[in-house]
Structure 1
Amino acid sequence: MKTRIREAFQRFGEKWADNAPEILVGIGLFIIFLLIGILLRRLVVRRLFRKVHDRLPVVFAGRLVMLIMVLIGFVSFLNAVGLAGTARGLLAGAGVTALVLGFAFKDIGENLLSGVFLAFGRPFKIGDLIQVDSFMGNVQMLNLRNTQIRTFDGRDVFLPNSMLIKNPLTNYTKDGLMRHDFLIGLDYGTDVVEAERIILDIMNEQNDIEKREHLRPFIVIEEFAASTINLRIYFWINTLDMLTSFTILKYRVMLAVMNRLIAKGIKLPSDIVEFKMYEEERRLPISVLVDNLEIPNPPNTKRGSQPPSPDQKG
């Protein structure tokens, strides 16, 4: 087939001046098919939009129709200018190239077929938040070869379509619902039931948080840590009605919870750290506050002994 195509181009090059009318006809045919492709793409997009309210497969189908018409126009051009052997060679190999476009273009053919599966399988739509491997972002466009997503830090990432087919794909917003959570640590002397009531009151005051029966915020005790009782707060948001970003909403909720708990006198302690000094006569490099009286650099006491009281100071 390669030899036949090469010989056809050589013969065409030797008498291209004599074939000027055929060249003009071929160019005209190519332009006609190009215009037909544009019209068909618009028609397909318009008709599909009436039945499928998802922009992603509609746009992909329109591009696929345009690609097919361009290929037909190119073959018609070759046939019109006297390169019928070349056209027949291309058509003879179409069955193979349609699948993998030859071994040299295996990745291109693979991504094209993957794009077809993604467009009509519809695991996501434009605007959905998806994650593939370590890449996470909102879908911007599905092209013939790749899928464009925008990450939270504003980067546009183009993922090969085959990558989305071969790897697990997580869609966080397919049904419009997404769950968030955060952790908060309470002092061991805290009334946990009262703290939970305060937190839930705050969550119910947030307009962007779902409050339907099966989507209400809830709290669980995650662990009894060394210094705190750790509570994890779960809440759902509707991404279709979001007026702000997930990160800003989570920050606003966490800030409101922290401020309300502090205002109610509930302590949020940090981790307790134990210092050990094995030189008994060496003074500790700290100051101790006992009943609002500062004891600077108290001596290190032996095991079983007590630190000096405020009355004994001086």
Structure 2
Amino acid sequence: MTTDFHHVLLTYWEQFLFVLPKLLIALVLLTIGLFVAGRLSALLSRRLHRRSADPLLADFLTQISKWVLSLIALLVALNVLGFTGVVGSLLGAAGVSAFIVGFAFKDIAENFLAGVILAFNRPFHIDDTVQIKDLVGHVVALNLRTTLIRTFDGKHIFMPNSMVLKEPLTNYTRDGDLRMDFLLTVELDPADTPAVVTGVILDYLQTVPEVQAGTKSPYVNLEKASATTVDLRVYFWGDSNDYRRGVLQLKGHLMQQVKQELVGAGFSVPALAG
């Protein structure tokens, strides 16, 4: 029994010594290949960022190039080791199907394909404010599997690319401006009219630099009127590039200031609503 065990160990040792040179060469080639993949992808990243106005697409293409070059390095190493059958199988299953090994990898392939579509379709850019379902935040990055979104309260949400692609996506900052509105209730004396209240509101809004003018000037609609009160909805356009400051904070500021202007003009404003 001891002799047989010794013979088996000796056989394995001889086989290891026979494979060792190929293993060392494969490791060296794999290390060099990964190093070259990193350098080439970094070079590609710099060139894409210089020539492309969309850093989101540039980053995504850089990630893909690095993975492809790394895969090539791995295939070369496998070929040196003599695993030609494995290499042939991988090359024969070229494309995305090479990554789908059974049902367990279905979601990975789906999110990868969704990421490719998002990168070229570009429904958003870096720092755009978007809403997906009930989630609202800034786009930070598009990765091979997930889209990273940072909410206004500082949370980092990694959403699967397939969900981002399938769900309705609202981009608040794509055009650079956004119309907002708020509702206010104003008490009127018998001698007053809604037009007088509207004039006070518009006169103030025209003095606010952050409120857009021209073709996107603010306006006021009469929503409801009774014997003593009117409900007026105020519409205005703001800069949405900085969504929190240019839209949300601007809206809150205008609601407070419009109320003060009306109170200063002798009107009572019992209710304000967003």
TM-score tier, shorter chain, comes to 0.7 to 0.9
Match of 1:81 in 2: 81
Q: Which residue of 1 aligns with 2:193?
A: 191
In 2, Cα distance between equivalents of 1:135 and 1:242: 15
Which among 191, 196, 203 is matched to residue 201 of structure 1?
203
The aligned residue for residue 156 of structure 1 is: 156
Query: Given the superposition, is the C-alpha separation of residues 221 and 92 from structure 1 closer, same or farther in structure 2, using an over 3 Å criterion?
Result: same
- Given that 2:139 and 2:150 are in contact with CA atoms closer than 8 Å, whether structure 1 keeps it comes out as yes
Alignment size in residue pairs? 260
Change (3 A) 1:191 1:14: farther
- Residue 287 of structure 1 corresponds to none
**Structure 1 residues 184 and 26 mapped into 2: Cα distance closer, same or farther (>3 Å)?**
same
Cα distance in 1, alignment partners of residues 251 and 77 from structure 2: 59
Hey, what does 1:283 align to over in structure 2? none
Rounded to whole Å, the distance in 2 between the matches of 1:13 and 1:159 is: 49
CA displacement, residues 147-185 of structure 1 (integer Å, 9 cap, x when unaligned): 011122222111111112212211111111111111111
Counterpart residue identity of residue 49, structure 1: H
Are the counterparts in 2 of residues 217 and 234 from structure 1 also a CA contact under 8 Å?
yes
Please state which structure has a larger fraction of its residues in helix: 2
Aligned 1:35-114 pairs, distance under 5 A: 35-95=35-95, 97-98=97-98, 100-114=100-114
The superposition leaves residues 162-221 of structure 1 with CA deviations (integer Å, 9 ceiling, x where unpaired) of 11221221111111111111111111434321211221122222222212x211111111
Equivalent position of 1:15 in the other structure = 15
2:30 is paired with a residue whose SS is: helix
- Please name the residue that 1:304 is paired with: none
The 1-side partners of 2:42 and 2:134 are apart by: 36
Aligned equivalent of 2:5: none
What residue is the counterpart of 2:177 in the other structure? 177
**1:111 and 1:149, CA in 2 relative to 1: closer, same or farther beyond 3 A?**
same
State the secondary structure of the residue aligned to 1:144. coil
Q: CA deviation at 1:119?
A: 0.6
Misfit runs of 4+, over 6 Å: none
Instruction: Please say if residues 179 and 237 of structure 2, whose CA atoms lie closer than 8 Å, have aligned partners that are also in contact.
Output: yes
Q: CA deviation at 1:49?
A: 2.5
Question: Between the two proteins, what is the percent identity of the paired residues?
Answer: 38
**What amino acid maps onto 1:164 in structure 2?**
V
CA contact (8 A) 2:130 2:137 kept: yes
SS in 2 for 1:28: helix
The 5-angstrom pairing of residues 210-225 of structure 1 reads 210-211=212-213, 213-224=214-225
1:123 aligns with 2:146: no
Match of 2:31 in 1: 31
State the match for 2:266 in structure 1: 265
Alpha-carbon distance between aligned partners in 1 of 2:227 and 2:39, rounded to the nearest angstrom: 70
1:50-71 alpha-carbon deviations (Å, 9 max, x no partner): 3321110000000000010111
Residues 1:255 and 2:256 aligned together: yes
Please say which of residues 27-36 and 112-121 is displaced more in the overlay: 27-36
Q: In 2, are the aligned partners of 1:101 and 1:108 still within 8 Å (CA)?
A: no
Q: Aligned AA for 1:249?
A: L
Residue 256 of structure 1 deviates from its aligned partner by: 0.7
Structure 1: runs of 5+ lacking an equivalent: 1-11, 272-314
The gaps in structure 2 that reach 5 residues or longer are: 1-11
- 1:101/1:182 Cα in 2 relative to 1: closer, same or farther (>3 Å)? farther
Larger RCO: 1 or 2 (CA < 8 Å, sep 6+) = 2
The structure number with the bigger radius of gyration is 1
1:136 corresponds to which residue?
136
Aligned residue for 2:269, secondary structure, equals: coil
Deviation at 1:227, TM superposition (A): 6.7
Cα distance in 2 for partners of 1:41, 1:50 equals 14
CA gap 1:95/1:41 in 2 versus in 1, 3 angstroms? closer
Structure 1 residues 138-147 or 45-54, which shifts more? 45-54
1:296 is matched with which residue?
A: none
Residue 94 of structure 1 and its aligned partner are, at CA, apart by: 3.5
Q: Which amino acid aligns with 1:258?
A: K
Distance 1:44 1:79, change over 3 A: same
Please say which of residues 63-72 and 235-244 is displaced more in the overlay.
235-244
The separation in 2 between residues aligned to 1:226 and 1:113, in whole angstroms, is 61
TM-score by length of 1: 0.75
Amino acid at match of 2:58: V
Output aligned runs, 1:283-302, within 5 Å.
Answer: none
User: TM-score, structure 2 length as denominator?
Assistant: 0.85
- Given that 2:110 and 2:162 are in contact with CA atoms closer than 8 Å, whether structure 1 keeps it comes out as yes
